[in-house]
Structure 1
Amino acid sequence: MSTPRIGEIALARGVTATWWYTVVGVVSFVAFTGMFWVLWAWASPALDAPWRLPVAIAGGAAWIASSVFLLLDYRPSVHATRDGERHPRSPLNMTGFALAALGALLLGVGTSSVLAAVGVLGFVLAVRPWTPGVRWRVVVGATVLVTALVFVEASSFTRQGIPSNAFSAPAFFIMMLPTMTAFSLWWWEIILELDRARAAESQLAATRERLRLANDVHDLQGHHLQVIALQLELAERLLTKDPAAAAEQIRAAQGAVDEARAGTRALATSFRGVPLPDELENAADLLRAAGHDVRMHVGPGTASAPVAVLGPIVRESVTNVLKHGDGARARIELSRDGDTWLYRMVNDAADRTESAEADIAWGSGLTGMGERLESSGGEVEAWNDGTSFTVQVRLPIAAQHAAASTEGHA
């Protein structure tokens, strides 16, 4: 199994963070709805019995607790369903149902409202992991029922002399709760599906690369091995009749071995290489994982930049930032400036008390960069303006073609 890239880990963390944002949003909406019903029990003149307020408060608390338990059970249930597994009833699920039933009973009694109790049950229906298509029919049905009860109870309170606008806030929240809950969970499931699609696409791309590598190796080695076998067989037959011709065939076989070795080396190099934009993305992911605020600018056409030359430069500059930077901000740039590739890494300057040590370390790193660039006609510059440290590399595009030609003849 391949180790996940930092970017993939970040995406997985993003899906988890989105889930917790969803949970907080739904629970907060439930809490606001319960608060409005408690305020209704406290302020309504028709509910003058002193015991109703604490009962309504207890019902609201039980409802909020049930929402937490049901949502905690919802996520593993969705994962199990999408993996084709059956999610067994868990203590979280049973506790959530029990607290929801208790909350509906207490809130209904405390507020003297059937609507409050039915609203709690509507929320429970909305937070269940229904199969596709079923949830929205259930939510629409629950919303229609709650809306009908809103008009029934509003007219009942009006006949008792209670203004309908006093009832509007709790009625509105309880009416919107099933739809809002369903939309929040649906949105999270979309993000989860997108993440799964991204993972499947990544696995498919890796499988295609393996198949391409297998085909390339088969074509390359199969051809050369067949030629070598024929040449050696011919040399064996000519060995007693014509030693000179046999020696010529042996030399030809040696040449085929050299060609196979060069082809294998070139094939391995092509698969080992990473496009420079991907190299820069990896560098940005690494710096972000270390706590840096990273800004990156990659100009057009940079996919053709020479990764064999600039790739090690990128990795070396990232290492220096991690070792000697302040750890707050970094900027990565790669662009084409006329007939030159321009790479720049900018980061926070090291603290002045460590400036001497930092300069020595950076000098050592820059020396290695310069040695890598020397054979390609490139140059490296560095400067510290007191607030930031900049490493700038210039590499002639003509040198890139020369390097590619040299690799082709290796």
Structure 2
Amino acid sequence: MSAHTNPPAPFAGVNATWIYTLGSIVAVYVLLDLLIITDLLSSFADTRSRGMLALVLVSVAAAATRIRYCWFLRSDSGSGLPHIGWTIALFAPAVISWGIAFVIPEGSFFAAVQLWFSGVLFALVASRRLRWWLILLALVLTLIPILVSGMAGDRVELGERHPATVLITIYSLVLPIMLISSLWFWRVVARLDEARSLAAELAVTQERLRFAADLHDIQGHHLQVIALKAELVERTLATKPEYAAEQAGEIRLIAKEAMEETRSLVSGLRDVALRDELENASEVLTLSGAACTLEISSLPAGTDAQRVLAFVVREATTNILRHSNATEASIALAPARGGFELTVKNNGVGEEPGRDGGSGIAGLRARLADVGGTLTADAGRPGAAGHRSFALTAWVPEGGPQ
């Protein structure tokens, strides 16, 4: 069985959002550059000036490098600038155009604005701490040749010969806000996509932990019982062959039951019978040498409550078999405090249990919390042999989570 992963669709999800964002930014630059180049070509057709022709060519080069530089906007600000060669290519034609603005007064505005367009684009990929300082620097440098041209008396002529000046001025002033807001929206979508992916990974992890806990409850309990009964078979095989044969048969049945419950767990169809678990626990503890009493007043009606209490019985029984030398044990289930209370006690804990009673009990506490229940573990004072009693008490509400 082979496994493969499908690549993300280029026009779906967060990739589509970036394509639309990039497309809108490029479209704004293309529109502004087309207006400028068209107007400059018109001026060149009237004057046949070599300086105007040079300005047209430099403007085309600046527009091309800006469009290519837009692809670097996808990386978050401050994560590193593009290769220095791309930055030089971005500013070289814009700086040349800015210098031409001092030589050709009639085209000073369109020549100087090339540096503004490139400076704003560079500020968006630079560090956020420097972004607005870079934009301010680009604005000041852009205004220098325009003001020089205005003081030379060319302001009226400029407005008459270039009717697109007003439109380009307006778009140029709002350009930083337009681009920053577009990139901000894109980054919000990217963060939401990351959060969605993280939530999916956490859901998978939680399901794995739940499955691991269920598998621990099933296999740990059954394997412990099988080990106990196998030890009984080994001890009684010579003296009580019939009893040993009976225990061997029970080992086979327990192993079969473990396999069936594991299959049911995998398919999500496992349903624990609480009464059966209580009776099996009492029998197993008795076989281990602990005189066990079982008291069942009534059972909760809810399947969730029965299921979690059955897990408590499993875990408590397994812990007694593994970690104690109990000679007495008791299991009691009765209504209490508007719900049901299960208490499992034994007198064979050799050392003071941890505060959480081990990872198994900590897992049970989490299970009970899911249905609105509680779990307490209490150790009594050591007796003459150094052993202490230990009681595990689980409570669940009758009507489910409160």
Q: Provide TM-score, normalisation by structure 2.
A: 0.53
Aligned equivalents of 2:56 and 2:25: distance in 1?
19
Question: Which residue in the other structure is 1:352 paired with?
Answer: none
- Give the direction of change, closer, same or farther, for the CA distance of 1:208–1:180 in structure 2 (3 Å limit): same
Q: Of 261, 272, 279, which residue of structure 1 is paired with 2:259?
A: 261
The residue that corresponds to 1:305 in the other structure is none
Residue 207 (structure 2) pairs with residue 209 (structure 1): yes
In structure 2, the CA distance between the partners of 1:235 and 1:162, relative to structure 1 (3 Å rule), is closer
Residue in 2 aligned with 1:61? 60
The share of aligned pairs that are identical, in percent, is: 29
Q: Name the CA shift for 1:192/1:136 in 2 (closer, same or farther; >3 Å).
A: farther
Contact 2:119 2:135 in 1 (8 A): yes
Q: Counterpart of 2:309? A: none
How many Å apart are 1:217 and its aligned residue? 2.0
CA offsets 1:147-186 (integer angstroms, 9 cap, x no match) = 8998997796555584599331232233233332333333
Between the aligned partners of 2:6 and 2:197, the Cα distance in structure 1 is 12
Alignment match, 1:169: 167
Aligned: 1:101 with 2:99: no
Matched, 1:18 2:23: no
- Matched to 1:265, the amino acid is R
Letter in 2 for 1:171: T
Residue deviations 1:17-54 (CA, integer Å, cap 9, x gap): 43333333323322222233334445679x95633442
Looking at structure 2, the residues matched to 223 and 56 of structure 1 have their Cα atoms a distance apart, in angstroms, of 85
The aligned residue for residue 227 of structure 2 is 229
Unaligned runs of 5+ in 2: 270-402
Q: Distance in 1 between matches of 2:219 and 2:111?
A: 75
Please report how far the alpha carbon of residue 261 of structure 1 lies from its aligned counterpart in structure 2 after TM superposition: 0.5
The one-letter code matched in structure 2 to 1:119 is: V
Distance change >3 Å, CA 93–CA 142, structure 1 → 2:
closer
C-alpha deviation, 1:246, in angstroms: 1.8
> Does the C-alpha gap of structure 1 residues 5 and 26 become closer, same or farther in structure 2, counting only changes over 3 Å?
same
Greater helix share, structure number: 1
Q: 1:269 to 1:59 in 2, by over 3 A?
A: same
Cα distance, 1:105 vs structure 2: 4.4
**What's the offset of the Cα at 1:106?**
5.2
Q: 1:246 to 1:106 in 2, by over 3 A?
A: farther
Amino acid at match of 1:211: L
| Alignment correspondent of 1:135 | 131
Partner residue, 1:321 = none
Mapped contact 1:232–1:250 kept (Cα < 8 A) = yes
Equivalent residue for 1:121? 115
8 Å Cα contact 1:63-1:120 kept in structure 2? yes
How far, CA to CA, are the matches of 1:194 and 1:87 in structure 2? 25
How many residues align? The count is: 263
Deviation string 1:341-386 (CA, Å, 9 cap, x unpaired) is xxxxxxxxxxxxxxxxxxxxxxxxxxxxxxxxxxxxxxxxxxxxxx
Unmatched segments (≥5 aa) in structure 1: 272-410
CA shift digits 1:248-292 (9 cap, x unpaired): 222222222122111110122139xxxxxxxxxxxxxxxxxxxxx
For 1:35, give the aligned amino acid: L
Distance 1:170 1:26, change over 3 A: same
In 1, the alpha carbon distance for the partners of 2:212 and 2:71 equals: 45
C-alpha separation in 2, matches of 1:28 and 1:109: 30
CA distance in 1, matches of 2:40, 2:212: 73
Change (3 A) 1:219 1:79: farther
Q: CA deviation at 1:226?
A: 0.8
Residue 11 of structure 1, CA deviation: 7.7
CA–CA distance in structure 2, aligned partners of residues 90 and 145 of structure 1: 21
1:78 deviates by 3.7
Tell me by how many angstroms 1:79 deviates. Answer: 9.6
